[in-house]
A and B are shown apart, each in its own frame.
Chain A
Amino acid sequence: MHKSSSYLDIAIRYGFLALMAGLLIFFSVTAEGFLSPFSAVFILQSVAITGILALGVTATLVVDGFDLSIGAVATSALMLSAYVMVVWEMSAFWAVAISLAMGAAVGAVNGFLIVKFKVPDLLATLGMMFLLLGAQRIPTEGRSVSTGMALPDGTIATGTFSDAFLMLGRYRISDLVPLSVVFLIAIAVLVWGFLELTRHGRLMYAIGSNDKAASLAGANVNRYKIIAYMISGTLASFGGVLLAARLGRGDVASGNNLLLDAVAAALIGFAVLGASKPNAFGTAIGALFVGILLQGLTMLNAPYYTQDFIKGAVLVVALVFTFALSGRTGRGAA
Chain B
Amino acid sequence: MSEPAIRISGLHKAFGRNLVLRGIDMKIPRGQVTVLMGANGAGKSTLVKVLCGVHQADDGTVMLGDTPFKPETPSEALHSGVVTVHQNINDGVVPDLDVASNLLLDTLASGGGTFLKRRQMRARAREIAVAVGLDIDVTLPVASLALADRQLVAIARAMAHDPELLILDEPTSSLSAAETKRLFEMVERLRDKGVAILYISHRMSDIRRLADRILSMRDGQIVQQFEQKPLDYAGAVRAMLGHEITEVDITIPANGKPVLELRELVLREGAAPFTMTAHQNEVIAVAGLVGAGKSAFAGVLFGLNAPVAGTMLLDGKPHKPRSSGDAVAAGVYMCPKDRLVNAVVPDFDITANITLPFSRRHSHPGGFLSFRSERATANRMIGEMGVICQGAGDGILTLSGGNQQKVMVARWMAEASRVLILDEPFQGVDIQARRDIGRKIRETAATRTTIVFVAELDEALEVADRILVMSEHSVVGDHRNEHIDVSAIMAQVVEAGAARAAG
Flag if B324 contacts A217 (CB, 8 Å): yes
Query: A209, A220, A330, A334: which contacts B325 (Cβ < 8 A)?
Result: A220
Quote the shortest CB–CB distance from A198 to chain B (angstroms). 4
Who on chain B is nearest to A275 by CB? B347
Docked complex Cα distance between A216 and B301 (Å): 13
Chain B residues contacting A206 (CB-CB under 8 Å) are 345, 348, 352, 356
Quote the shortest CB–CB distance from A280 to chain B (angstroms). 15
- A225 within 8 Å of B (CB atoms): no
Chain A residues contacting B327 (CB-CB under 8 Å) are 218
A218-238 interface code vs B (CB 8 A; 1 in, 0 out) = 111000000000000000000
Docked complex Cα distance between A218 and B327 (Å): 8
- A205 within 8 Å of B (CB atoms): yes
Flag if A199 contacts B348 (CB, 8 Å): no
Flag if B367 contacts A329 (CB, 8 Å): no
Query: A199, A202, A218: which contacts B328 (Cβ < 8 A)?
Result: A218
- A208 within 8 Å of B (CB atoms): yes
A216-B336, A218-B357 given; A329·B347 CB < 8 A: yes
Docked complex Cα distance between A325 and B346 (Å): 18
Flag if A217 contacts B356 (CB, 8 Å): yes
Who on chain A is nearest to B333 by CB? A218
Flag if A218 contacts B325 (CB, 8 Å): yes
A:269-307 near B, CB below 8 Å: 277
A216-B324, A218-B357, A219-B325 given; A198·B368 CB < 8 A: yes
Who on chain B is nearest to A193 by CB? B368
- B139 within 8 Å of A (CB atoms): no
Which of B16-24, B283-291, B358-366 lies at the interface? Answer: B358-366
Flag if A214 contacts B346 (CB, 8 Å): no
- B343 within 8 Å of A (CB atoms): yes
Who on chain A is nearest to B398 by CB? A329
Flag if B345 contacts A199 (CB, 8 Å): no
Quote the shortest CB–CB distance from A201 to chain B (angstroms). 8
Docked complex Cα distance between A212 and B369 (Å): 22
Q: Of A199, A206, A208, A209, which is in contact with the most chain B CB atoms at under 10 Å from its CB?
A: A199
Docked complex Cα distance between A203 and B357 (Å): 9
Query: A199, A277, A330: which contacts B369 (Cβ < 8 A)?
Result: A199
Chain A residues contacting B323 (CB-CB under 8 Å) are 218, 220
- B109 within 8 Å of A (CB atoms): no
Contact size class for B? 20 to 34
Chain B residues contacting A218 (CB-CB under 8 Å) are 323-325, 327-329, 357
Flag if B346 contacts A202 (CB, 8 Å): no
Docked complex Cα distance between A209 and B346 (Å): 6
Query: B342, B357, B362: which contacts A212 (Cβ < 8 A)?
Result: B342
Quote the shortest CB–CB distance from B469 to chain A (angstroms). 26
- A210 within 8 Å of B (CB atoms): yes
Flag if A213 contacts B352 (CB, 8 Å): no
Who on chain B is nearest to A200 by CB? B367
- B389 within 8 Å of A (CB atoms): no
Flag if B369 contacts A216 (CB, 8 Å): no
- A143 within 8 Å of B (CB atoms): no
Q: Is the interface of B mostly helix, strand, loop or mixed?
A: mixed
Query: B324, B344, B360: which contacts A210 (Cβ < 8 A)?
Result: B344
Chain A residues contacting B357 (CB-CB under 8 Å) are 217-219
Chain A residues contacting B336 (CB-CB under 8 Å) are 216
- A28 within 8 Å of B (CB atoms): no
Quote the shortest CB–CB distance from B363 to chain A (angstroms). 5
Chain A residues contacting B328 (CB-CB under 8 Å) are 217-218
Flag if A213 contacts B344 (CB, 8 Å): yes
Flag if A215 contacts B348 (CB, 8 Å): no
Quote the shortest CB–CB distance from B285 to chain A (angstroms). 21
- A246 within 8 Å of B (CB atoms): no
A303-334 interface code vs B (CB 8 A; 1 in, 0 out) = 00000000000000000000000000111001
B298-334 interface code vs A (CB 8 A; 1 in, 0 out) = 0000100000000000000000000111011100001
- A173 within 8 Å of B (CB atoms): no
Docked complex Cα distance between A158 and B46 (Å): 79
A:241-289 near B, CB below 8 Å: 277
Flag if B343 contacts A213 (CB, 8 Å): yes
Quote the shortest CB–CB distance from B408 to chain A (angstroms). 9
Chain A residues contacting B325 (CB-CB under 8 Å) are 218-220
Chain A residues contacting B368 (CB-CB under 8 Å) are 197-199
A:99-124 near B, CB below 8 Å: none
Flag if A205 contacts B348 (CB, 8 Å): yes
A:42-74 near B, CB below 8 Å: none
Chain A residues contacting B343 (CB-CB under 8 Å) are 213, 216
Docked complex Cα distance between A214 and B344 (Å): 9
Quote the shortest CB–CB distance from A1 to chain B (angstroms). 10
A218-B324, A218-B325 given; A213·B342 CB < 8 A: yes
Who on chain A is nearest to B390 by CB? A2
- B397 within 8 Å of A (CB atoms): yes
- B150 within 8 Å of A (CB atoms): no
Who on chain A is nearest to B371 by CB? A197
Quote the shortest CB–CB distance from A115 to chain B (angstroms). 14
Chain A residues contacting B258 (CB-CB under 8 Å) are none
Who on chain A is nearest to B362 by CB? A199
Chain B residues contacting A215 (CB-CB under 8 Å) are 324
Chain B residues contacting A210 (CB-CB under 8 Å) are 341, 344-346
Docked complex Cα distance between A215 and B328 (Å): 11
Chain B residues contacting A219 (CB-CB under 8 Å) are 325, 356-357
Docked complex Cα distance between A198 and B325 (Å): 19
Flag if B347 contacts A330 (CB, 8 Å): yes
B:406-452 near A, CB below 8 Å: 411
Docked complex Cα distance between A203 and B369 (Å): 11
Flag if A205 contacts B347 (CB, 8 Å): yes
- B194 within 8 Å of A (CB atoms): no
Who on chain A is nearest to B304 by CB? A216
Who on chain B is nearest to A276 by CB? B347
Docked complex Cα distance between A217 and B333 (Å): 9
Docked complex Cα distance between A216 and B325 (Å): 8
B363-383 interface code vs A (CB 8 A; 1 in, 0 out) = 100111100000000000000
User: Known pairs A199-B363, A205-B348. 16 more at Cβ < 8 A?
Assistant: A198-B363, A198-B368, A202-B352, A202-B356, A203-B356, A206-B345, A206-B356, A208-B347, A210-B344, A210-B346, A213-B342, A218-B328, A218-B329, A218-B357, A329-B347, A330-B347
Kindly list the 5 A-B residue pairs having the minimum CB-CB distance in the complex, ordered from nearest: A199-B359, A218-B328, A209-B347, A217-B357, A198-B367
Binding site for A on B (CB under 8 A): 302, 323-325, 327-329, 334, 336, 341-348, 352, 356-357, 359-360, 362-363, 366-369, 395, 397, 411
Binding site for B on A (CB under 8 A): 197-200, 202-203, 205-206, 208-210, 212-220, 277, 329-331, 334
A sample of 10 cross-chain residue pairs with beta-carbon separation below 8 angstroms, ordered by A number, consists of A199-B368, A200-B367, A205-B347, A213-B345, A216-B302, A218-B323, A219-B325, A219-B356, A330-B346, A331-B347
